[in-house]
Every structure is written in structure tokens, then in C-alpha cells.
Amino acid sequence: MSTLTAALTLLALVVIFLGSGVWIFAALIMIGVGGLYIVLDFEVARIGTIASKVISSSAVSWELAAIPIFIWMGDIIFRTDISQRLFRGLSPLVARVPGGLLHTNVFGCTIFAAISGSSNATTATVGKITIPELMQRGYSLNLASGSLAGAGTFGLLIPPSIAMIIYGVLAEVSITKLFAAGVLPGLMMAALYSGYIILVTLLRPSVEPRRDDKVGLGDILGGLAQLLPIGVLMFIVLGSIYSGLATPSEAAAVGVACALIITMVTGQFSFEMIKDSLMATIRISAMICILIAAASFLSAAIAFMHLPVQITQGIAALSLSPYGLLAILALLYIVLGMFIDGTSMTVMTVPIAVPLIVQAGFDPIWFGVFLIIMIEFSALTPPVGLNLYILQGLTSAGMGRTIVSVLPFFLLLVLGTVLLVIFPQIALWLPGQL
């Protein structure tokens, strides 16, 4: 069977199984089975042998151990009063900056992302405190909503990121370097968002209420004290990774221990909370790991069909420039992100996209950051943009108004992507220092 026929057959299987509404992990397995059976005429017994070997080996990767542990750490923190502490701690620090408390969305999400790893958890945790407070004080609903939805995506970009771990496992690149690569792009996006809030506030002062409160040194020191537990947790987890003292999995375990200590010190520890957080962690981790296992089987099936090599050779024959290839992939990811979640998008595309990118001369570490930003787009685009639905639930605004409020921050994310492409060292400088 020709390469074109094999590719079209696989595409037809993707449309049939994903379009049928079955679970994505089951669809990925059936696509792999169908491809091996139809394209290569493999016997069912041989397909079963391949599937059992690939799925069992992919499920025991040591790097995957970091996923449930980081999820557990984030879920423990999610069930504490960290969101209130973030707001109380950041409020005096941003009170005199144009835009005032609107910056608590940006900085709060930036900080919480460094102890969460999830975009949805970051948006929901920070928003459940900041949105009611900002609305009560008379801040612009559009700016409050848009800044929260945009900054909520930092949960994917700023380490520790579950999406980066998944990419690192599939692309076989250093997760520690991926974590380092996400730091400066995340801070750059935070600066763009806060800069936009300052600019809008200066041009339209009505977006924030009149501020009569005085902020003294005592208020600032009190705010820093509120942020101290979060800062200690960030320092221990990320510091142990970047210093080389611990692997991401080991640092995650230390992070869980620190999170539990924080709950005890602040009087929020309970066995009921531990049980609930463990159950939530098991559900999310099982979903992610079974997706990775199914994607590994699909990758093996595609490799048996020699499609990655042949597709790479075919695209090379088109004489596309490296940036032309990147633009095509970006468009593909934006379209996919409108219909499937980021984890599924990653596991489905990495086996083919990474060889293309490497041949085009891009660093796979840099592409990991680029891919994460593409996933961030999917969190802000309907109909599957989960941050939009979280935001709508927090504000009770219509979906139309929610999308309008997010649009400026979506465009800022586009600008950040362009800057990352023009200046790849934004992502590559810090990993180069490790």
C-alpha cells in the first residue's frame, strides 16, 4: 500500500473513531489496531503482542511517576486557603500600580502555576477569590475576566507542568530542561498581560475604582508573610530540580510532603481532605496515563507503517522553509484545540511533529514550549476551551461576553508566540545554564 493510501486510511480511521464519540484512549487504540490490520495486514495475534508490549513498557516509565505526585501536590494546595493567602499577600504589593488589584489575577496565577501544573486548577483556584473581590470593588468585568482566563493558562507553561512531563516522555527529552525552558516565556507572558492592564488603565481610568486606601510598609510586609508558605514550597520543589539535587519525580514527592506540612501548620489538615485529594489524583492520573499508553501504541503502529519517515521525506520534498512548517503546525494545533483537549492533542501529534521539527532545525526543547503555548490557545478557544467555561461559571456572564473579554489576552498570547519564534533564546537560555 502506498504512503498516500496508508495516510488517508489512517486519517479515515481517526475521523471515524474520534467522531463516533468513544473515549479518546479507546479511539487511539482502535486507530492503531485498524492501521496495522488494514494497511499492513497484520494478524490479530501479532497486533495483540505488539499492543501488550508497547502499552506495558510505556506504563512503567519512571518519568511518569512525577505526574500523579505533582497532581496530588496541586490538589492538596487547591483544598487549602492558598487562594485567599495569594489575594491577601498580593493586594498591598500591587495596590498603587495602575490597574490595582487586577494584577492579582496575573501574579496570583503565575505563583499558583508554580505549585499546580494544571491550567484549569490555576484558573479556578485563583478566580474563586479574585473575581468576587474585583466585582465587589467595581473593577472592569472584561479586564478581570480576560486577565484571569489568559493568566490561568500559565498552569501549563510555568513548571511544574503536567503537559511538559507528557511531552518530555513522548519526545524523549529532558523534563528538567523542559521545566527550565518554560520559566522565562511564562514570566514574559505575565509581563505582557500586566503591561496591557497598565496601558488600558492609563487610557481608560474608569476600568478601576478610585483608590483611597493607603499602603504602608507594614501592609507590604504582612503581604509577604502571607506569601511565605507558597514561596517556600516553590523554592524547595523547583530549587531541588534545577540544582540537580532531585529528579522531577523526587522533587514532586518532596513537594507533597511540604504541602502536607503547610496544611498542618495552618490548621487545615484532615484525613477527609487527604482522602478526597487522593481520589481526585487517582482519577486524573489514570486518565492521563492511559492516554499516554494508548498514544504509545498508536505511535508504534505508525512507526510500523513507516509513516513518520515517509511524511518527513514528503514534506522535505515540498521545500518548505522551517518557519513555513512551523506556521502549518501552529494552524493545525489551533484547529485541533477547538475540538480536543490539550493532553489528547499532545499524545496524538508528538510522534509525527517532533521528527519534522528536528529535521527542520528546531530544538525539541524549544518546540516543547511552543507546543505548550499552542495548548494554551486551546484553553481559550470555543467550543472546548475549558478556561472559558470556568470563567463563565465564576462571572455568570454570557459566553459571548466571556469570549470578547478574553480576546485581547488571546492576541497577547499570539504576540508572545511570535516573540518566542523570533527570539528562541527566551526559552533556550535557562536550560543552557543547567
DSSP-assigned letter for residue 64: G
CA dihedral sign, ordered 180, 185, 189, 195: positive
pLDDT, one tens digit per residue, over 17-60 is 766 777 777 888 888 888 888 878 888 888 888 888 887 776 66
Q: Which band of pLDDT confidence, cut at 50, 70 and 90, is reported for residue 5?
A: confident
pLDDT, one tens digit per residue, over 191-212 is 999 999 999 999 998 888 876 5
Give the pLDDT mean for 418-426.
95
pLDDT given at position 369? 95
H-helix or E-strand spanning residue 148:
helix 141-152
Q: Which of 90, 123, 173 is nearest to 406 (CA)?
A: 123
385 has a pLDDT exceeding 80:
no
61 has a pLDDT exceeding 70:
no
pLDDT given at position 383? 61
CA distances from 167 to 35, 162, 183, 346 (A): 24, 9, 16, 7
pLDDT given at position 190? 93
137 has a pLDDT exceeding 90:
no
213 has a pLDDT exceeding 70:
no
Q: Which band of pLDDT confidence, cut at 50, 70 and 90, is reported for residue 371?
A: very high
Query: Which residue has 516522555 as its cell numbers?
Result: 169
Q: Which band of pLDDT confidence, cut at 50, 70 and 90, is reported for residue 312?
A: low
Give the pLDDT mean for 6-15.
74
Count of domains observed in the chain? 1
1 has a pLDDT exceeding 70:
no
pLDDT given at position 420? 95
Which set of grid coordinates corresponds to residue 94?
500591587
d(CA 116, CA 125): 10
Which set of grid coordinates corresponds to residue 340?
480536543
pTM for the whole structure: 0.81
Q: Which of 413, 400, 370 is nearest to 150 (CA)?
A: 413
d(CA 238, CA 252): 9
Give the pLDDT mean for 364-390.
83
Q: Which of 156, 121, 115, 126 is nearest to 252 (CA)?
A: 115
430 has a pLDDT exceeding 80:
yes
Residue ranges making up the domain that contains 39: 3-432
Report the percentage of the chain scoring pLDDT > 70: 92
Name the average pLDDT for the chain.
Answer: 84
338 has a pLDDT exceeding 90:
no
262 has a pLDDT exceeding 90:
no
Give the pLDDT mean for 312-316.
65
Of residues 316 and 300, the one with the higher pLDDT is 300
Of residues 47 and 396, the one with the higher pLDDT is 47
